[in-house]
Amino acid sequence: MKYLILLGDGMADDPLAVLGNKTPLEYARTPQMDRMAAEGTLGLIDTIPPGLPPGSDVANLAVLGYDPRVCYTGRGPLEAANMGISLAPEDVAFRCNLVTLGSNKNGDRVEICPHMVDFTAGHISSAEAGRIIVDLDRAIGSENFHFYPGVGYRHLLVWKGGEAELTATPPHDITGKTIGPYLPSGRGADKIIRLIQLSRDFLADHPVNRERLSRGLKAANAIWPWGQGRAPRMQKITERFHLRGGVISAVDLLNGIGVYAGLKVLPVEGATGYTDTNYVGKAEKALTAFSELDLVFVHVEAPDEMGHEGNVEGKIKAIEDFDEKVVGTILRGIPRLGDFRVAVLSDHPTPIRLKTHAADPSPFAVLSSREVENQAGGISFGERNAKGTGNMISPGHRFMEHFLGNWRRFFEQNTR
């Protein structure tokens, strides 16, 4: 049996009046996911435990069979794992966004400004961001604070012997909002706030920003550290389920989760973590990887990015591209591999109206090559249809044991 998980990050949403009270997922043309729902098993998965933030870190840990209440320590250390950064037990790793803040000045000194303009710094390229992060590390890094370049706007800050219990708000939660109430707070927060201010001073006239502004692009004029934590302890799912697995993603977070899970990171040329990603290349890589693997997890970030932007048309397009270029490529190619189970799902909603994540359950569909394992309910893929089936996997970390175990038993017992 070959096992394949196809995850459209943040695909789930709320009904929108502009779409005739349909969600983007219900409105989009998705014949491939509709086929999986109609011929396979449709339901909801509840990935966010009460009290934990509804982020891709928590949600994807759950999808891969981990109880986030037990193993989740923060996003930063997961991303560090994929970047090959070794953390000592006392070290704290932060996700460190390059962002665009407003541009007020007080005399010759740049001040922390009142609102978050763009948490992606205009989706700055990895090449441009890499130059900035390297320069930042030289300029404001120290024996205790080190910056490491990542992908696009997503980078890492490691605080040696740092504080992990402070509060830091994800920048995608405060787009357009005054940042004062959301600056880090708690023990050690003053040191992180000082780094933000130092980054503002240093980046105000950075060559990369001068070049970007000359082209009409947003400047990466500040850092925003968040998602901090110490290295977690996690059993490899490859050991737990006695299989060989791989992960395909453009973002360090998902690949870092894969590293902790014992999955082989499978790079794909042209994978960007945005709407211009190499959708087909990801699917084709998954199919070829089955020559040596039993499980492949394919993650696509684009729908989530469009949700954060509040871009209705962009989210519909990202969902349709995911459906045709990823799900379609897989469904056309996987039958030749023999027995299979394919799951398609959203890890969490990223509602257009909120421009950030929500904790509501998301739809999933599983299609098996074994007809006896399919409910074959004959309905399309979407939030309301999934809810109507009565199939619910809650807590969500039980999904993997069902998916890799006796799948038929799941819907026969209508597990909740």
Q: What residue segments make up the domains of the chain, in order of their start?
A: 2-71+233-413, 92-229
Q: pLDDT-based confidence at 132, cuts 50/70/90?
A: very high
* Beta bridge partner(s), residue 44: 363, 392
End-to-end alpha carbon distance in the chain: 25
> Residue 3: what are its φ and ψ, rounded to 5°?
-120, 130
Q: pLDDT-based confidence at 113, cuts 50/70/90?
A: low
Across all residues in the chain, what is the average pLDDT? 94
Cα torsion 129, 81, 264, 400: sign: negative
One of 3.30.360.10, 2.60.120.860, 3.90.78.10, 3.40.720.10 is the CATH number of 2-71+233-413, namely 3.40.720.10
Tell me which DSSP letter residue 142 carries.
-
Q: What is the pLDDT of residues 145-168, one digit of tens each?
A: 999 999 999 999 999 999 999 999
**Of the given ranges (112-116, 130-134, 176-180, 386-390), which has the lowest mean pLDDT?**
112-116
Structure tokens at 178: 């005054």
How far apart are the C-alpha atoms of 352 and 354, rounded to whole Å? 5
Q: Following DSSP, what letter does each residue of 375-404 receive, concatenated?
A: -------SHHHHHHT--EESSGGGHHHHHS
Q: pLDDT-based confidence at 415, cuts 50/70/90?
A: very low
Q: What is the pLDDT of residue 105?
A: 52
Give this prediction's pTM: 0.89
How far apart are the C-alpha atoms of 330 and 342, rounded to whole Å? 9
Q: What is the pLDDT of residues 242-277, one digit of tens each?
A: 999 999 999 999 999 999 999 999 999 999 999 999
β 362-368/41-45 pair status: antiparallel
Statement: residue 109 has pLDDT above 60: no
Contact 206, 165 (CB under 8 A): no
